[in-house]
Amino acid sequence: METMSLHYAAAASCWEEALPVGNGHLGAMIFGGIGQERLQLNEDTLWTGGPHDYNRPDAHRHLAEARRLILGGQPGEAEALLQQEMMADPNFIQAYQPLADLWIDFPDLPPCAEYRRKLDLDTAVHTVTFRADGVTHTRECFASFPARAIVVRLTTDAPAGVNCDLSFSTPLPEGIEVSAAPGRLSFRGQLGSRASEGLSGSWDGPGLKFGGVLDVRAVGGGTMECVGDRLRVHAADAVELVFMAATSFVSADDISGDVEARLETFSARNRGVGFDRMLAEHLAEYQPLIRRVTLELPSDAAADLPTDERIARFREGGDEALAALLFHYGRYLLIAASRPGSQPATLQGIWNQDIVPAWGSKYTININIQMNYWPAETCNLPELHEPLFRLIEEMVPKGRATAHAYYRAGGWVAHHNTDLWRNCAPVDFAGCGFWPMSAAWLCTHVWEHYAFSGDERFLRRLYPVMRGACEFLLDFLIPSPAGDPFLITCPSHSPEHGGLTAAATMDNQIMRDLLDQTMTAGRLFGESPAFLSRLKEVCDCLPPNRIGRLGQLQEWLADIDDPEDKHRHVSHLWGVFPSAQISRSTPDLLKAAAKSLDLRGDEATGWSIAWKVNLWARLGDGDRAHKLLMLLLTPQRDGAAGVYPNLFDAHPPFQIDGNFGVTAGIVEMLVQSHEQDESGAVVVRLLPALPATWPRGCLRGIRVRGGAEVDLRWQDGRATQMCLRAQRDQVFRVCHGDCTRTHALKAGDTLMLDGYELLGE
């Protein structure tokens, strides 16, 4: 049964059929062609542009007028003013770029049969096999984190059976200079000026230098010859390729890195190691990550079909193992796209072939990058959250300048997009770009990481970042002019929806969590009582969540929600997920949230559907969550959301947040830990949103808040076995249906409950 691999009976005919490998720094899309293999290559720091201050120094001069217009009921005029005077310079930020393509041509192959290509998620190895003229050809590829390389082996079961031509090309307009020598094919290049196109900003001047090296080894004889800028290997038993790449990126302020030295360091490390040892080293590093979690769901014979056929027939039912595969794929993609030391996953993870990619393939920080990291903690991959934390820390100095230039405020602020250069100013269009809540939202990820790990050293290190985001809010909030006691945000909006306003519900929810979390952290670290009470005062003055005339949770301060509104952003439901502000302990608000979500409907973009899976799971409706999952796990067509044959989620186009969001959502359907009881015990809720289509299953290694791992087995829709391994001292309240039991555990304790104890019978 194929719950841990994607496989196909034909080579990829387009990018969305190719399969991804990655090590956080390098990504490759593998097409699996028979006569010609293509590896479309990315390097995580290759972005257009360079160090740049996006802030408009005089922007603050227009703030008072913008506020006056918004509060005076002229949001359109305010938008025009902001667009003219307060957007970033330039107004669009930079784009993530493709690096190069490695082409492997196999001349004179006889007709082939028994073709199969497969991406094994348990090993992260991509394999192409076929037979031609009685000879079996095997082509393996993986991305190694320890070797910082993409490694390929081409073999046949006949001696001297491998003949190939190796070459590089690039779609970059600046081009590359390729040089070939026996044993090595390499290229160098440098990005330059770009005109603004799509949502990608202009750049005048030189950009990043970059280079790639392919070390080539012919095993068991064979000859190598340079033919122009190609390298030809003839009659080898096997060919081993090791690809490494680097850019001159050092930091958002420094692009003076030495590409040659970096490439030489990588290449020297891997020289002479050989495929088998590199594979062993890769498996030793990768498998402990992917094997932390397992999930089995009911399936039928369809589970053995090629993945594209499974996707096509998923809606017919029976093959729930495909949902498990989608879940494992999300974990795989996070390991491949986000590693300690790498850049965070972009809108496309690390895989992008376009010069003008969709939305710049950048960091959209009003939902998308956050969603990328939703599965990191629950899926037991907390170390992969690190690139996001580093991004946040690197944004702080830029965000301080933005807070000063735009609001004459202290602390730091970020708006709806950032890039490699850590922009924090508002970009694109005022109606979506002017959203000064991103820093606050990002900081709640710091708290989540702590809630799972209890790692006080981590929290102490990041505390100033949280504090800085609060300092901004203290200066930014203004008294409500409506004669009520509230402090309000202005300008703001409910992300990308409804135009400029003041005090959109999501703002208040995010601020409430951040202020709360910062108060708790501040108390731990000896924060001044004056600052703590200031936070408390402000928190108490935030407008509360409100239930409107439709029984809905209001998206805005005024009760203006439109019952026909199907907008993709469901920002006011932030309080339900990712936050736990609205939960079973606030039943009226929870009911109102369900009403809002119901009104919004199911159809949406990929990431929005994924968010709704999480939301319905938190609302306790497993069948509705599954309905959304089915919507997501549909072949992409006609401009609607779905998945591509390679299981990449379609906004459309491809956007990886949907993959990560649904992975998190599947956990939320099976185990939740966001609630605490009155005594502070962490509530571990088992099977809170189990759909009828998953009557039995098995989940292992999920992490819960409070610091524990949970394994769970269920049958006939009821848990039959649970194992909870506490990693620190903590009281857990295990809830299953109506049965609740509290267990005080010590670090290292294992709690085993069987069906009898779980059902309280």
Q: Rule CB under 6 A: which residues touch ligand FUC?
A: 347, 359, 364, 368, 496, 568-569, 605, 607, 651, 655
CB of 314 to ligand FUC, least distance (A): 24
Task: Give CA torsion, residues 744, 750, 751, 755, to 10 deg.
Answer: 170
CA gap 211, 202 in Å, rounded: 23
Q: How far apart are CA 137 and CA 183, in angstroms?
A: 22
CA dihedral 636, 638, 641, 647 (to 10 degrees): 10
What's the min distance (Å) between Cβ of 652 and ligand FUC?
10
For ligand FUC, the closer CB: 263 or 391: 391
**Tokens found for residue 522:** 């501040």
Strand order in the sheet with 223-227: 19-22, 26-30, 36-43, 100-105, 162-169, 230-236, 223-227
Q: Shortest distance, CB of residue 678 to ligand FUC, whole angstroms?
A: 38
Backbone angles phi, psi at 556, to 5 degrees: -130, 170
C-beta closer to ligand FUC: residue 170 or 614? 614
**Long-range contacts of the stretch 454-458 (C-beta < 8 A, 24+):** 454/706, 454/707, 454/727, 454/728, 456/524
Residue 472 vs residues 67, 408, 515: alpha-carbon distances, Å = 17, 9, 11
Nearer CB in complex with ligand FUC: 247/364: 364
What is the nearest approach in angstroms of ligand FUC to the Cβ of residue 605?
Answer: 5
Complex with ligand FUC: residue 45 or 655, whichever CB lies closer = 655
Closer residue to ligand FUC in complex, CB, 357/622: 357
Q: What is the nearest approach in angstroms of ligand FUC to the Cβ of residue 359?
A: 4
CB of 445 or CB of 512, closer to ligand FUC: 445
> How near is the Cβ of 600 to ligand FUC at its closest, in Å?
14
Q: What does R_g of the chain's alpha carbons equal in angstroms?
A: 26
Q: Minimum CB separation from ligand FUC for residue 497, in Å?
A: 9
283 φ, ψ (degrees, to nearest 5): -65, -40
Distance CA 345, CA 369 (A): 7
Residue number, 218 or 347, with CB nearest to ligand FUC? 347
Name the minimum Å distance from CB 217 to ligand FUC: 42
Contacts of 162 by beta carbon, 8 Å cutoff, 6+ apart: 154, 155, 156, 218, 222, 233, 235, 236, 237, 238, 239
- Beta strands of 526-658 (E only): which ranges? 642-643, 649-650
What's the min distance (Å) between Cβ of 429 and ligand FUC? 10
Instruction: Return d(Cα 697, Cα 382) in angstroms, integer.
Output: 25
d(CA 95, CA 361): 6
CA distance 22 to 640: 28
Shortest distance, position 756 Cβ to ligand FUC, whole Å: 47
The residue with tokens 């003229």 is: 133
Return the number of the residue (224 or 420) whose C-beta is nearest ligand FUC: 420
Q: Do the beta carbons of residue 481 and residue 502 sit within 8 Å?
A: no
Minimum separation from the CB atom of position 641 to ligand FUC (A): 10
Q: Smaller CB distance to ligand FUC: residue 359 or 486?
A: 359
Q: Which is nearer to ligand FUC, 567 or 718 (CB)?
A: 567
Nearer to ligand FUC by C-beta: 16 or 496?
496
Considering the complex, what minimum distance in angstroms separates the CB of residue 16 from ligand FUC?
17
Please say which residue, 398 or 497, places its beta carbon nearer to ligand FUC. 497
Q: How far apart are CA 506 and CA 367, in angstroms?
A: 11
Instruction: Give the number of other Cβ atoms within 10 Å of residue 510's Cβ.
Output: 28
Q: Please tell me the distance from the alpha carbon of residue 2 to that of residue 604, in angstroms, as a whole number.
A: 29
We find the least distance from the C-beta atom of residue 370 to ligand FUC, in angstroms, to be 11
520 vs 588, 629, 673, CA distance in Å?
Answer: 27, 36, 19
37-69 b/e with 16+ CB inside 10 Å = b? bbbbbbbbbbbbbbebbbbbeebbebbeebbeb
Considering the complex, state which of residue 155 and residue 438 has its C-beta at the smaller distance from ligand FUC. 438
